[in-house]
Structure 1
Amino acid sequence: MKVRDLMTKNPISITKEMSIRQATSIMLENNFQSLPVVDDDNKLVGIVTERELFKAIKLNIDSDCQVDEIMRKRVLCVDGDTKTDKIFNMGISRVPIVDKDEKLIGIITVSDMLKAYYKKSSYVTEELEAILKHTHNGILAVNKNGKIISINESALKIINKSESEVLEKKAEDIIHNFELKKVLETGESQLGEKCLINGLNVIVNKTPIIRNNQVVGAIATFQDITELENAIKELSNEKNLTRTLKTILENVYDGIVVVDEEGKIIMMNDSYAEFLNVNVKDVIGKHVTEVIQNTRLHIILETGEAEIGDIQEIGENKIVAMRIPIKENDKVIGAIGKIMFRDIQEVKSLAKKLTVIQNELDYYKDELKRVRQVKYSFENIPDNSYKMKETKKIAKIASKSNSTVLITGESGTGKELFAHSIHNASPRHLGPFIKMNCAAIPYELLESELFGYSEGAFTGAKRGGKIGKFQLAHQGTIFLDEIGDMPLEMQAKILRVLQEKEIEPVGSNTPISVDVRIIAATNRDLETLVNEGKFRKDLYYRLNVIRVDVPSLRERKEDLEELVNVLLKKHSKDLGKYIPGVSKESVDILKRHDWPGNVRELENVLERAINVADCGEVIKPMHLPVYLLKNKTSITSSRFSLKQAIENAEREIIIHCLKHTNGNRVKAAKLLNISRSTLYEKLDKYQIKDV
């Protein structure tokens, strides 16, 4: 270790013009035993130590005198490349470090070095402990009395004991037919002994621990021979595999040739030899350029770069060839040549087939998406408003990640629409999308719905059990709606799924690994629920990795008109009624409303209007619910009561509907969604006669 690795750079120094008093003050403030003295060029010119200060006091030297009068001018110093061992031998607690120009660049102390050595020693100790703990072979150490003082996990596994059962116990009392007495007495190793330990054939090596020529203990290492036998078996399998591969290469249709690092052919299969009309035995050992016309395998040996799909003329044939270098430790030691296609026409034919297959694949992908219940994408979400643009931007970022997503927003804002869209744009889009409303399932059934249950888990359980939502969502996405309404006990189990990536079906003790991305949604304030103890804080933090806040409809009125058109088209189709559009006056009324129920409320209003309106008729104010039309009435008098305002609005709407129906009271009652008797009562109340 070098001094520059441990030194304190740009240390505190003083000049020789500084007073003894100032120097003393600096040393006391910083608890220094010495201070380097430098000139104007930062060159080391001396040093002041406690000894010089004590001497100055003894000689009654004025403390206002300059340091120059008492400093030691012959200074022991070193450069940055000096090894730290030399500092220990110097016997000085603080040593200045200088560069080649004698300029001060640092200070090293014995304390600095001791700390560094301690840190290094601790690191080495930890490394050795880790090696001992995790090494594959069993290791056991005893003291000079034969008592076990250390044992690793592999050894404990072989003897089938716990650490507490064996420590401070004699090894022969723990392991049958095993003893270290002879090694401890003679100090000689015993290697390669075969023992039967706990039903296992084990090779044991016993070695003494010698310190100061005295045996202070012994170490025994254990290796299960079963593993060695398995290795031999695997080696035999490898040989068989090599023979099998050689047989395959000899018999495949594709022509294959292998050359060594000098370009000489070391293997050619019968297919290539037949194509070239040569004998395999005749070409082995020859340079590849002598055998194959227009070959580039010798060039591959020089460049080390693969060439795939290269057209090569051999006689009257234009083949498509592949050439790949064989590398070992980044050095090219040979190359493989392969005939991919014996005629270029084969490539064209294959390209046509691949186009057909790709079209089929695209079709099945679309069908798979449809079957797996993903209905929406980001294109289905209008974003004329700034808030919705920003929300979609965050959601698109979330879709590229595999992290958990928390979607928040008021009821009816379209949180599920965002969940669909995030899944559809994610790498998991070909996987399942499973929805689960946590508030809609009774608590008693929630666990079995989410995690499934095994056969016989409870009375009435289906034979063979049932797969839960998480297993159904494997390699896809699960959407947990209304997560804020989930019971605390179930929250703990969801947290375990997030942390361990595994579930346990009801009635089963066997965990099942699942690869699922969780998207959760809620219209409740989870932070408030956490503070009230109704929602787990740890689960909240695991869910709130990427948060998507969906704005309410009143915050994105710019999107309302496009939403109206989209919903009108959807429900017109569902109801089988052609509605060409919505009148401007109706749109204005819709825009004035605050929409506490958000998009769900808007959808409900439009579906009702479509039902009330005649086929081919645009949506007019009279087709809208009464509570929306009330917002149209303005109060001009400060003495006007709420009751009067409602009654005036009601009277205007009834008159408007009667005019629209040419006085037909039956149709008017239908438009107002009230009974005929109620209409007659209101006509009498508001004294509405002929309209």
Structure 2
Amino acid sequence: MTNQISSSPKSLLFQQQNLLTKSQQLESLQLIFNQIHAGACVTDAEGIITHFNEPYGRFLGVVPSEQIGKHIKDVVENTRMHIVAKTGQAEINASQSIRGENMVVQRIPIKENGKVIAVFGLVIFKNINELSRLAKKLSELESQVKLYQKQLNSMRSTRYSFDSIIGESKPLLRLKKEALQAAVTDLSVLISGESGTGKELFAQSIHNASPRRVQPFVQLNCAAIPKDLLEAELFGYSKGAFTGAKSTGKPGKFELADSGSLFLDEIGDLPLEMQPKLLRALEEKEFERVGGNRLIHSDFRLIAASNQDLEGMVARGEFRADLFYRLNVVALHVPPLRERADDVVCLANYLLQKIACKTSQPPATLTPAAITLLNKHTWPGNVRELKNVIMRTMATLAGDQITPADLPFYLHRDKETKGTGQSSLLKEVVARAEKLAIKDALKMTGYHKIKTAELLGIHRTLLYKKIAKYNISLIPS
């Protein structure tokens, strides 16, 4: 008896502490309940309201505490919480008209031992129309992501590596070694050389041998893009930046090259007014889209190429000196084909093998006399001209051996020219070779301009300019 009496105060104290803990828990739960940024309420199994949060009260214009004890039908129009209490079936993301708006609601039965003891209701303060707009926006974004992913996958699949650069001459082997050393760094590279020497091959090879090889290789020919569109191509544009702009905007080359390499071909044709913007993007790795005001960061490695004398352009004020020095960190010069005569026959045999693979025929061979004729030519159009000669020859070759008679006639007239007329003669030969190359490529592709541009290895915009320049007919003769 004494022990029972002495233990009673301890038991009473325990009960009081337990009640205090539960009270604190209830206060915490009520605080959380009121912080839900949606209308929330709880009813018992008969539809009587037991909990009603403050956001729901503000939305309906009622005092939350005064709703406790009322039937849910008397407080919320078009409710089905009392029905869910009877069916025991949850209704998720259902539509309910409240105060003239279609709202998204959740009605969830709360069960104990398989029996419904309460129903939890949640009203999301977003109407159906707004959610439809969000769904449409999400669909647009998903389409954009698919488009960009497709572009990036295409960009990652660079065609060339150092194995693609054919030749055995000392100048070429030395250049390949220098380019391979540059590839492992993250420095800017400027590749110079005459048109047709293979500057793009070196650019792609450097990317493929670099730590960025699995990331995008994005390229842009500065000479092929109209001046007015060049800024949008490089930096992209925001929604509504100009008439005809896509409603979603468009990323530029800098943005697409994030984590990868950006190759700017014919950098000497970049307008002077664009050069400070390019310099800032190179130094800061930050830029804004045309018509935008948000800074975009892009981690890219720049590779540039030019067939012009950029140092001379700097001296004449045609190219910014600060941009030139920023580009010319690693300088690589691709020698013209006339300075690496050992590569002519090697390249010719490689091209013959390549054509044979495409046509599923045995490769043609060069006779010693044909090799002598090829070696005597100065190749002002470089590898591109040699490729054209081989393609033209194969298009009309009857047998499997190439003799001097099978080669283009102008090679037979080729003589070493000295004196002041040499420069103008080279220009004439290059122009003639370009015109013949375009005409032959058009014939081989059935006058399909996109396929012709791909065959010649140039952008189709540049092809259109050359066709207009040389007044080449697009009607099969």
Q: TM-score range by the shorter chain?
A: 0.5 to 0.7
TM-score (norm 2): 0.54
Indicate the residue corresponding to 2:220 in structure 1. Answer: 436
Change (3 A) 1:371 1:512: closer
Query: In the alignment, what sits opposite 1:390?
Result: 174
Q: For the aligned residues, what is the CA RMSD?
A: 1.8
Does the residue aligned with 2:302 lie in a helix, a strand or coil? strand
- What is the rounded CA distance, in whole Å, between the counterparts of 1:526 and 1:548 in structure 2? 13
Amino acid at match of 1:625: P
Q: Which amino acid aligns with 2:390?
A: L
Which of 200, 207, 225 is the aligned partner of 1:423?
207
Q: How far apart, CA to CA, are the structure 2 residues paired with 1:631 and 1:560?
A: 16
Matches within 5 A, 1:34-433: 372-433=156-217
Q: Is the 8 A contact 1:589 1:632 kept in 2?
A: no
| 1:629 equivalent in alignment to 2:412 | yes
Please state how far the C-alpha of 1:371 moved relative to its aligned partner: 6.1
Distance of 1:428 and 1:533 partners within structure 2: 35
Give yes or no for contact 2:155–2:217 (8 Å, CA) kept in 1.
Answer: no
Q: CA deviation at 1:630?
A: 2.1
CA distance in 2, matches of 1:573, 1:503: 46
Q: CA separation in 2, counterparts of 1:421 and 1:438? A: 20
Q: Relative to 1, partners in 2 of residues 1:587 and 1:369: Cα closer, same or farther, differing over 3 Å?
A: farther
Q: Aligned equivalents of 1:380 and 1:422: distance in 2?
A: 12
1:195-226 Cα offsets, whole Å, 9 max, x none, are xxxxxxxxxxxxxxxxxxxxxxxxxxxxxxxx
Deviations 1:378-434 (A, max 9, x none): 112134211112111110111011010000001110000000100000000000111
Q: CA deviation at 1:575?
A: 4.9
Asked whether 1:588 is paired with 2:345, we answer: no
- The letter of the residue matching 1:389 is L
Deviations 1:237-268 (A, max 9, x none): xxxxxxxxxxxxxxxxxxxxxxxxxxxxxxxx
Task: Give, in whole Å, the separation in 2 of the partners of 1:623 and 1:555.
Answer: 25
Verify the 8 A CA contact 1:369 1:429 in the aligned structure 2: no
Equivalent residue for 1:461?
A: 245
The answer on whether the counterparts of 1:595 and 1:601 sit within 8 Å (CA) in structure 2 is yes
Q: Give the aligned partner of residue 617 of structure 1.
A: 400
SS at match of 1:459: coil
Residue type matched to 1:419 in 2? A
* Contact residue 572 and residue 610 of structure 1 kept, 8 A: no
**Residue 500 (1) aligns with residue 266 (2):** no
Give the Å deviation of 1:370.
7.2
Question: SS of 1:534's equivalent?
Answer: coil
Give the one of 459, 476, 480 matched to 2:260. 476
Are the aligned partners of 1:448 and 1:506 in contact in 2 as well (CA < 8 Å)? yes
Q: Which residue of 2 aligns with 1:680?
A: none
**Structure whose CA Rg is larger:** 1
| Rounded Cα–Cα distance in structure 2 between residues aligned with 1:492 and 1:500 | 12
Residue type at the aligned position of 1:612:
T
* Cα distance between partner residues in 2 of 1:618 and 1:370: 38
Query: Are the equivalent residues in 2 in contact too, given 1:579–1:610 (CA < 8 A)?
Result: no
2:387 corresponds in structure 1 to: 603
Q: 1:476 to 1:552 in 2, by over 3 A?
A: same
Residues 123-173 of structure 1, C-alpha deviations (whole Å, 9 max, x = no match):
xxxxxxxxxxxxxxxxxxxxxxxxxxxxxxxxxxxxxxxxxxxxxxxxxxx
In structure 1, what is the equivalent of residue 326 of structure 2?
A: 542
CA distance in 2, matches of 1:572, 1:489: 48
Are the aligned partners of 2:155 and 2:218 in contact in 1 as well (CA < 8 Å)? Answer: no
Identity of aligned residues (%): 54
Residue pairs, 1:645-656, within 5 angstroms: none
Query: 546, 554, 579: which is aligned to 2:363?
Result: 579
Cα pair distance change 1:483/1:373, threshold 3 Å:
same
**How many Å apart are 1:622 and its aligned residue?**
1.7
Please, which of 502, 506, 528 is the counterpart of residue 312 of structure 2? 528
Q: Which protein has greater RCO, CA pairs closer than 8 Å, 6+ apart? A: 2
Q: 1:579 Cα deviation (Å)? A: 3.3
Q: From the two aligned structures, give the one with the greater helix fraction.
A: 2
Paired letter, 1:400 = V
Correspondence for 2:109: none
Partner residue, 1:448: 232
The answer to whether the 8 Å contact 1:451/1:506 transfers is yes
In the alignment, what sits opposite 1:645? Answer: none
For residue 369 of structure 1, report the CA deviation from its aligned partner: 8.0
Q: Displacement of 1:576 after TM fit?
A: 5.3
Structure 1 length as normaliser, TM-score?
A: 0.37
The one-letter code matched in structure 1 to 2:235 is F
Cα deviation digits, residues 419-462 of structure 1 (max 9, x gap): 01000000000001111000000000001111110110001101
**SS of the residue aligned with 1:434?**
strand
